Chain A
């Protein structure tokens, strides 16, 4: 172990974490990002120590909503003109700017105090996997995903398909009844 000064510096240093938002359920993802932004994943956490980490989110354009939330969920959008507040569906909002959905969700999940703006500046959102080099060099670790994205049928190999357990294998001349 190094000297106490160095150990102290390491304990309270700010990490840069990567989060892949591909096919992740949005509210659960927002909660998880919130936890890392606040620093609640550290045993030295205290709200006054400002011990949160930076979170870089990639593939935000591929984030997922449950059921028919894309159509049902509404976001309040201020157009900037007088007396005009628009309620946009999540689908249109996402089409307008693919990073804004996650930004709004994390903003609502963060504690509603003066820390919130500071923590939002430590959230970096990118619609796909292109990250600027100076941010890519900062990264250290990965936030574990909320759920593993499920595989499509064409992403399985032939051996996996053949060895998949089946209840009964019908004979070759089987015709299902209508």
Chain B
């Protein structure tokens, strides 16, 4: 039996590459750290092991130790992607990644994957770079201020234009949440955005991402 390390590396290259291109095409305004965060979420060991388990990869594994360690399952899964790439070409391998790995993003809160410690600061930086007014948080509504269950609705404004609105348990929390919503609106990863382009065929995605070289070898 040959070692699957090389195939696993190939598989990892294909996966990482495709996910980055997909996310950049899907969220063009999201900064690199955000894209990396989503990529890290979708390719984390737990996720890949879960996908592998449900695809029946368990039956394909020959391993010394039992139970099979997650790192081995992950390596086998990536080796399978590498094998598809080796045997049937990059397009088929990427379709595999598209259908099984990228599809795990459906229904997930993409903004929660990127841990931004100071959203207000980040928002101020971005607005300054764009030459817009600095962010101003203002109270839109508040209820039960003197009770144990208050609600503060806060909006973040820049030059009197509403960027994002959110509510919170305490005032600082509401301001932070509103800044997060403002960032999500700017990066177009807000809750009301159009769904992930998962039904788009690979060709269109390649066109969007601007990489059509490998498609010319299509038989």
Contacts and interface: CB of A to CB of B under 8 A. Distances in A.
A9 interface: yes
A4 B145 contact: no
B164 to A, nearest CB: 8
Interface string A151-164: 00000000000000
Contacts of A115: none
Most buried by B among A3, A135, A137: A3
Contacts of A46: none
Contact of A6 (B141, B144, B177): B177
A3 B177 contact: yes
A13 interface: yes
Contact of B167 (A4, A9, A15, A137): A9
Contacts of A139: 143
Most buried by A among B142, B146, B180, B191: B146
A14 interface: yes
A135 B144 CA distance: 8
Nearest to A10: B167
Interface string B109-121: 1011000000000
Interface residues of B, number: 25
B143 A1 contact: no
B169 A9 contact: yes
A6 B168 contact: yes
B81 interface: no
A10 B153 contact: yes
Interface in A115-135: 134-135
B192 interface: yes
B111 A3 contact: yes
A89 to B, nearest CB: 38
- Interface of chain B, main secondary structure: mixed
Most buried by A among B145, B180, B190: B145
A121 to B, nearest CB: 13
A14 B149 contact: yes
Given A2-B167, A3-B111, A3-B112, A9 B151 contact: yes
A53 to B, nearest CB: 9
A16 B167 contact: no
A3 B112 CA distance: 8
B190 to A, nearest CB: 7
Contacts of A140: 141-143
Contacts of A13: 143-144, 149, 151, 167
Given A9-B169, A10-B167, A138 B190 contact: no
B151 A2 contact: no
Contact of B180 (A2, A7, A10): A2
Contacts of B112: 3
A3 B151 contact: no
B166 A16 contact: no
20 contacts: A1-B181, A2-B180, A3-B111, A3-B177, A7-B167, A9-B169, A10-B151, A13-B143, A13-B144, A13-B167, A14-B143, A14-B147, A15-B151, A135-B146, A137-B145, A138-B143, A138-B145, A138-B147, A140-B141, A140-B143
Given A2-B165, A2-B166, A6-B167, 5 more contacts: A3-B112, A10-B153, A13-B143, A14-B144, A140-B141
Interface of A: 1-4, 6-7, 9-10, 13-16, 54, 134-135, 137-140
List of 5 A-B pairs having minimum Cβ-Cβ separation, nearest first: A2-B166, A1-B191, A13-B151, A140-B143, A10-B167
